[in-house]
Structure 1
Amino acid sequence: MFANVTLSLMGGFVTTIQLFCLTLVFALPLGLIISFGSMSRFTPLRALVKTVVWAVRGTPLMLQIIVIFYGPALLWGMQAPRFGAALLSFVINYACYFSEIFRGGIQAIPNGQYEAGQVLGMTKTQIFFKITLLQVIKRIIPPMGNEFINLVKDTALARTIAVYEVLWMGEKFIKSKGIIWPLFYTAVFYLVFNGLLTLLFGWIEKKMDYFK
């Protein structure tokens, strides 16, 4: 019984990992782009981006998942794929959170460093990649680590639209077998995954200390 439950949960955990990894692949670069929009000198663009970020961060992720999954079917009669709808919801949501972390990190860099780069004849792109980026990465590692851990736990919300992630697989044993311990067993998967992420970010922070 234990072996069957473990295999079933591992199958769901694969979906959890896929959702986690794909969210990061798309949300991190999108978050950086959004952060540039929120710092734009073009007022209408800046206002629009800030409004979108405020709306996404101010509403529940579960609500966003439901709207993105059921919205196309109700409006245009198109059924969105469950995993795709969940992924899109996570990407949009976390890109907005990441954008605020990026923005805070970029704006924390003293203006004097930008001016020094300009004096040396560097372009804005060169200043960003050669002077700013490494310092931004170092500053945003702790908050990014927190968001990564939150993302691992938030993947459980995909069960709202019947994406068969690890928590959904654990819950199904209550309905099919009348046992609850597999649901608690799912906590082991989350704890191990988050433990590994904690160790990884701790190691990265130590490595970044060399750049003081």
Structure 2
Amino acid sequence: MSLPAIGQVLRVRKGPETPEYYQSRLVETGERHLFIDIPLHASDRTALDPAGQDVWVEYHGRDGALRRFRTQVLELVYLPSPVWRIVRPKPDDIAREQRREFVRVDTDIDVKLTVRLESGVQHVTVRAHDISGGGLSVWLPRTMVLHPGMTVEAQFILPNPEYPVHARCTVIRVGDRNERGMALASMKFEDLKESVRQRIIQYTFWRQLRLR
């Protein structure tokens, strides 16, 4: 089982079933050790105290599946920023969860939405807010009103390298309008080809590293 990529986001937990987690990133790898950013709590940004304890590290593989391994925190070192030095797991020590969770990353790609209404077909180009292998969210102008359960066609181009995507989506939720009249709509991909989903997942990894 492969390790996460340098710069990839990690989740660190005190126990395998502990609900709260701390966010970190893989900074560097060695033959026997890994070096990760000091984990910070996801909500209040407080640092996790290592104290030589065992912790569980989680990350997403390129197939979207969740992976985790148990490791020991050895010490705090400086590279030159302070990082944790932890024991590098053996490939067989990395467990793959059956369920798939997709990494969601901020993005600013343009998305052409097509929705079929009783009054006709509406086409609007909007700006995406974030995307994952499971769906995306976009900013809706006043001229477009969507409701949960509606079906929308989305077309966009992924960069690095350029790859066109045409996906059917179901609207999951629509937020309130902000002061600029924009509403955030979350949509789920439906019947997406696995090859297309893999391209989107590859983009989220590339985008994640770019936003380090």
User: Does the TM-score normalized on the shorter chain lie above 0.5?
Assistant: no
User: Which TM-score applies when normalising by structure 2?
Assistant: 0.24
User: Which TM-score applies when normalising by structure 1?
Assistant: 0.24
In terms of fraction of residues, the more helix-rich structure is: 1
